[in-house]
Amino acid sequence: MKTIHRIALACALLAPGLAGMNGVAHAAPAATFGIEVGNALLCLNQLNSKYFYDYLFEAFGKPYKTEGGAYWFKAAGSNLWGMEVTDILVNDSSSPADFIGANINGTPQALSDAITKSVGIRFTLDDATKYSLRQSQAGSVIAYADTKAKIYCAKSKYLVPGKQ
C-alpha cells in the first residue's frame, strides 16, 4: 500500500515540475513528462525502449546523437523534481540492457535530496568515495556525469522468466 501512495505522490509532485521548451523548435513535452519519464528514471515504471524513444521523439524531435548504445535527446527547459534536465537518453538496439537516463544540472547529492524531498525515495551511497554511486531500493542509480548528475534505470534484456 505504501508503494501505491508513493506512486500517487510522485505523479502529483512530478507533473507540475515541467517547464516549457524556450527557444526550441519542438513542442514542449506532454504534461505527463514528470510521471512517465520521472517514474521510469526511478525504476517505478516498466522499461520499454520503443515506447520511450517514441515518447521522447514526440516531445523533443530527433535525437541529436547516437552514442554508447543510446539515443540522446536534448531536453532543454525540462525539469524533474525541481531540477533542470539537459539530456535524456534511451537505449538503442545494440545495448544489452533496456535503460533510460537523464543528465541533470546539479550534483548527485542535490539530485538525491530533491528526489527525497519531492517523492520520498531515498538513495544510499555505495561507498564513501568522492564519486560514489547512489542507489534506490528500486534500483535507480545516481552518478556523476562530469560535473553534473546522471540518473538512470537499467534492466537486462536477458533476465526474462523462462517458460514453465
Return per-residue pLDDT of the chain as tens, 164 residues.
343 333 333 333 333 333 333 334 455 666 788 899 999 999 998 899 999 999 999 999 999 999 999 999 999 789 999 999 999 999 999 988 899 999 999 999 999 999 999 999 999 998 888 788 999 999 999 999 888 999 999 988 776 666 65
Global pTM reads 0.78
CB-based contacts of 39: which residues, under 8 Å, 6+ apart? 7, 10, 11, 14, 45
Pairing relationship of beta strands 97-104 and 124-125 according to DSSP bridges:
unpaired
Rounded Cα distance between 7 and 40, Å, is 11
What are the tens digits of pLDDT across the range 14-44? 333 333 333 344 556 667 888 999 999 999 9
The pLDDT, as a whole number, for residue 157 is 77
Neighbours of 122 (CB within 10 A): 13
